Amino acid sequence: MKKIIFVSHCILNTASKVVLYNQTDMNAEENLRKKFMHKAIDQEVQIIQLPCPEFTLYGPKRWGHVSNQFDNTFFRDHCRKILAPCIQQLKEYLANEDWFEVLGIVGVDGSPSCGVDYTCCADWYGSFECREGLDKTFNECTLEKKSGIFIQVLKEMLKENGLTDKVKVTSLFAPEPEKCLEILDK
């Protein structure tokens, strides 16, 4: 029986991520990402890469965003559109449980899109040009205990398809490494 896991796009392709400048956080996430990937490969888990909604809308030269900016009908519709084939694949694997075991889905906490338990939030909008108090605006960004928009839409689609109880959704998050590593222990 083949074990299968669905993962956020940037777990396999870090080139899709927004350029980050906090080297300590980057290193911690990268170390956990490598540990997770090595464990999955060592256990011969098949890995299916979810699409990146931010990259498919904005490309690589985008600014960092917060989930508040993505919480709109246009972004949610985009997420639904790119997730539809993934849900079909997931349903097909689950329908063939004699051949496949779906371990679950792994997002990336802190992401405005793919955060499962934590996402970044702030009241960001408008242009940067001539804006006063920009440092204050950026410093008001917080990590809140809720899912990013892409994961919210994914969970809605799982529920609509009767898959909520069949598919575990967890995350890669350096301060809580057990979340992504434990899902591979099935």
Tell me the C-alpha distance between 97 and 82, whole Å. 25
Q: Which of 124, 182, 112, 94 is nearest to 152 (CA)?
A: 112
pLDDT at 123 over 80: yes
Tell me the C-alpha distance between 31 and 14, whole Å. 12
**pTM of the predicted protein model:** 0.93
For residue 101, the surrounding DSSP H or E stretch is strand 100-108
Tell me the C-alpha distance between 125 and 127, whole Å. 7
Q: Is the distance from CB of 20 to CB of 62 less than 8 angstroms?
A: no
Residue 129 backbone phi and psi in degrees, to 5: -60, 125
pLDDT at 142 over 70: yes
Residue range 148-185, pLDDT digits in tens: 999 999 999 999 999 999 999 999 999 999 999 999 98
Q: Is the distance from CB of 23 to CB of 168 less than 8 angstroms?
A: no
pLDDT at residue 21, as a whole number: 63
